Amino acid sequence: MKFVPTPLGGAYVIELEPSFDERGFLARSWSAEDFKERGLAAKMAQCSISFNTRKGTLRGMHYQSEPHAEAKVVRCSAGAMYDVLVDLRRGSPTYCRWFGVELSADNRKLLYVPEGIGHGFQTLTNNTEIFYQISQDYRSDASRGVRWNDPVFAIDWPIANPILSERDRSFPDYTP
């Protein structure tokens, strides 16, 4: 695996390094030792799948509050998505900045999301499926979010007029 740093400290795009033969390829997509060597969360407590039937579906921007903050490894297993991170770590040099990257079944990239980062995505195709590895079990009492179109972050989403849940639409304005 190749860990490519993003502009947000501690967040990485992970590129697979496949070994090819006449059958196809084999590539490692997880190694606790490789994550631990970089100081990243190496223990994953939960895996989840998000399936989205319609292009333009937007989920986010979500995180869990302390002491239940979570790190994630995100991969698009079918279709394509624009994955976005927002730095919500007060005191971070990139506080309130965002980063986006396309993850798809074709490019097979993964994204490491460190604790304290808001996460969301917008589907670029119908029938997009996302696989998450998560360092903490989900806690509804710790579930938080910031609005996808909050002017503080000014995220440049690829598809206008997204399909949203009422919850994601109604997060309050963020106060830095």
d(CA 167, CA 60): 9
What residues contact residue 149 under an 8 Å CB cut-off, 6+ apart? 155, 157
Of 63, 82, 112, 132, catalytic: 132
Is 132 annotated in the active site?
A: yes
d(CA 48, CA 176): 30
Picking from 120, 136, 46, 43, the residue whose alpha carbon sits closest to that of residue 88 is 120
d(CA 122, CA 81): 6
Cβ atoms within 10 Å of 9's Cβ, excluding its own: 13
Of 12, 62, 68, 138, catalytic: 62
Picking from 124, 147, 121, 146, the residue whose alpha carbon sits closest to that of residue 132 is 121
The token pair at 70 is 């979570």
| Contact present, 62 and 88 (Cβ < 8 Å) | no
Catalytic residue numbers? Answer: 62, 132
